[in-house]
Structure 1
Amino acid sequence: MNWLVGTLRTYPEIAIFIALAAGFFIGNLKFGKFSLGSVTGVLLAGVLLGQLHLTISPNVKSVFFLMFLFAVGYSVGPQFFRGLKSDGISYALFAVVLCVSCLVCAVVAAKVAGYHVGQAAGLLSGACTISAVLGVATDAINQLPKSADEKKALLDSMPVAYAVTYLFGTAGSAWFLASIGPKLLGGNLVEECRKLESEMGEGEREAGVVSAYARFVARAYRLTDARFFGKPVEEFERHLASLPGHRRGFVERVRHNGGIEEATPTTMLREGDVIAVAGQRDLLLEAQPSIGPEVNDRDVLDFEAEVLDVVVTNREFDGRTLREIVNSIEGSLVRGVFLRKLLRLSQEMPVSPGTTLQQGDVAQIVGSRGNVERAAKVLGYPDRPTDRTNVEMLGLGIALGALVGALSITVGHIPLSLSTSGG
């Protein structure tokens, strides 16, 4: 044991990876329906390892902390600026009230408990889950007229207070919002959620039950319904859209007289044509009697399909519901694609005709490759899976942010700045 402690003190970088491994293991443990989560687990593991009196270079702390804050800011950036544009005043007032409330509560609690500056900063950061406070407090403490040992003692106490209070800051606030908050407001959380689902066109689903089949499929049919003989593809697709359920289907390919062609809205349908139709499985099952018998035509169905995440940046779609987009002129630009998933601030949103699209949303679309690529250009830019990090943007973003945060303005004798972490 003495050898292990001595080794960790000599090579403290090893302790960092031990804390990561142990923290993720602890964070993934479930106690009934409750789990600490990886962040809290790593914090607790770090606190325990810190009892061995290990010394980590302040530069290492700053580098990882800046990378963490950059990732947080990058993920919420689009929604942040959109919020300032649409409801800027109300959001600003709410931010002021929240910041003042958090600060006052933390200061009062620190005074009552007899905490010094370092512990108070950790309390504020952990209890309110505001990690940036650690960076700002570090810069502020380093500017205090105190000895190096006194500053070190204050700085070392911050992560301990942060780790202990962070647990309640996350789990406690979630419990309060779900259990106590609705009672204070006089509302029923379950009923309000059901009401919202109803307004958005989303039906109630049994908890824990998921679909065991692919929602969107492509099938081949031999056209035998005389209503569509000599009619364009767009009329056939309008028929599918008119069926109950607000569902869409598209003709991707047509086999006519032995040849296969890519379908467009103006492609004419003829008796005996074999058509490849893409859409929701239940729609195709319901519509089959009005199309014709299903056939096993591999060549017709052998077209390239693609699943792609697209970041929505087009202002024309901002604030509009999916139903409005489909029924508008722009709806033709997204023909042939289906929305599988919608993420907003990394949280999955319910997908229904009443769902509103916002700039910064990540829409996962599926369809034939040509249609998906066309829709991606209209909606925004594709976020393709990659195993390569854009290091140029990462490094430049962190450097510019830190430089801006390093600027300070002196008011009286008090230097004010965002700090490198805030920048």
Structure 2
Amino acid sequence: MGFWSSSLCFMILILAFNQSQGTSAARHLGNETDLLAILDFKDKISQDPNGVLSSWNNSQHHCQWQGVSCDGKHQRVSGLNLLGQDLFGYVSSHIGNLTFLKFINLRHNRFYGEIPQEVGQLTRLRYLKLTNNSFGGEIPVNLSHCIQLKVIDALLNRLVGGIPFELDSLKNLEGLSFGKNNLTGEIPRSFGNLTSLRQIYLSYNNLKGPIPQELGQLTSLYSIGVDANYLSGTLPSSIYNISTLAGISASSNILQGNLPANMGLTLPNIQDFLLGGNQIEGTIPVSLANASLLEQLELSDNMLKGQVPTNFGNLHNLQWLGIGGNILGSNSAGDLDFIASLSNSSNLQSLLFRGNNFGGKLPAFKWNSSNMLDQLDLGLNQILGEVPLWLRDLNNLYYLATDNNFFSVPIPNILGKFQMLQE
């Protein structure tokens, strides 16, 4: 029994030793793979004006190199952070061998060429940040394999082609930004499956077609930006029912339809509602006064008509009210009563209603002494009478436009006290 017990213990020790050696060898092989991959990454960079890659040499372990992070357990490369280093070059396809990578931050450099398809091999990747480079080509469909991704940020590049519908596999995605590229095609309806999505920014591209109704399924959505595209149809009714939304920005498209009468109730957290430069009709909803967090309301250059609600004075956080270039007002007394309602909006900085059909006289009232108004544009209307003396209360005013109205006397000399005023 003693012999067999001793032999068994010896065999267990041998197996444990071999397993330990195998694990060590595997780790070493993984480290060697990582080292070769980041050396090839360095080799593809032709300009390094800040010398950030000068530490990438044999004088120290690659986990100590500037911009390189490793996980504590395996000493495998888990992060590349080369933010704002003015690096010029393209990204090596060997980046796909860094299989422990969790974040890539190459923002604010001068990388060009395509985003390598091999990035799709990085199944642990959570953050891909490529903003402000010159990446071209199409968005890699293989990104759909990076199922741990939380953020894709490729703002300000030169990407072309469509947005892959296959990205709907990224169930953990919270932020998606392809704004300011040259993308075409439609916004994928499948994005309604990205139920973790909080921010989507696709502005300044060449996207067309409708904004999908399916986006209304994103019940955690905080902001959506689709400005400056060629999007048509209506802003989906489902969007107005996302109570978490703080920002909707869809200016400069070809959107039509009316604003829902109850939108101020269904969007209780809205802060920025920007829909200027479309073909929106109907009236401005009175219910917007219930959106107490509203800071920016931009509805200029649409086809809105009727009166401006006189309860906007309830919006104490309002900073920007842009309603110029519509058909608002009826060229009659009372058209401008909404201005008096804003007199207690101490945070209001810009009041722009140029180019409407407002008539009658400017109301007499007194601005709150703490007002912040610095832009007032009431030109191209049908306003009568004198320019009111309450202008003297606007101590921060630097831009005033009153042209093409029917004022009975010139602007009073009191405006001379505004040292920064530009008429």
Q: TM-score, normalised by structure 1?
A: 0.19
Structure with the higher helix share, 1 or 2: 1
Q: TM-score, normalised by structure 2?
A: 0.19
